[in-house]
Amino acid sequence: MEHIPILKMGNLLLVTIQVDMHDRLAMTLQDDLTTRIVKDHASGVLIDISALDIVDSFIGRMISNTAAMARILDARTVLVGMQPAVAITLVELGLTLHGVQTALNVEKGISLLQRNAT
């Protein structure tokens, strides 16, 4: 079964999305991520989408839902690495990433999470 790797860095978890998400993979990721937030006592989640050329409503909703799940488990989610074309498309399509903060790259995402933690 396919899994997207979740990397632990201190009290943060890092997920890099590189492959096309489909229903089952998205559910597996949400299962894995929520399990790891609890197991690793994570306070933040970084989702890197720099490999994605397209973010459609399915992926957008998946990211929003994942962030909502993380928030209930007391972890904050930051979306990093969004390509300019994706930002343009999101606005043009009227898609909002509800409840998700964004940062330019992983480094800025980490500092955002650490700044707000203190």
Strands 6-9, 12-16: parallel, antiparallel or unpaired by DSSP?
antiparallel
Closest separation in Å from C-beta 93 to a second copy: 23
Q: Are 81 and 50 in contact (CB under 8 A)?
A: yes
Question: Which residue blocks in 1-118 are alpha helix, DSSP H?
Answer: 23-39, 57-72, 84-93, 106-117
**Contact range with a second copy by CB under 8 A, out of 12-20, 57-65, 67-75, 92-100:** 12-20
Contact letters (x/-) for a second copy, 67-96, by CB under 8 A?
--------------x---------------
**Of the candidate residues 28, 30, 34, 50, the single one contacting a second copy (CB under 8 A):** 50
Tokens 């209930």: give the residue: 72
Q: Is 31 one of the binding residues for a second copy (CB under 8 A)?
A: no
**Residue 7 lies near a second copy (rule: CB under 8 A):** yes
Quote the least distance from Cβ 107 to a second copy, whole Å: 6
Handedness of CA 103, 41, 74, 70 (dihedral sign): positive
Calpha distance 77→40 (Å, rounded)? 15
Residues at the contact surface with a second copy, assessed by CB under 8 A: 3-5, 7-10, 14, 16, 18-19, 48, 50-51, 81, 105-107, 110
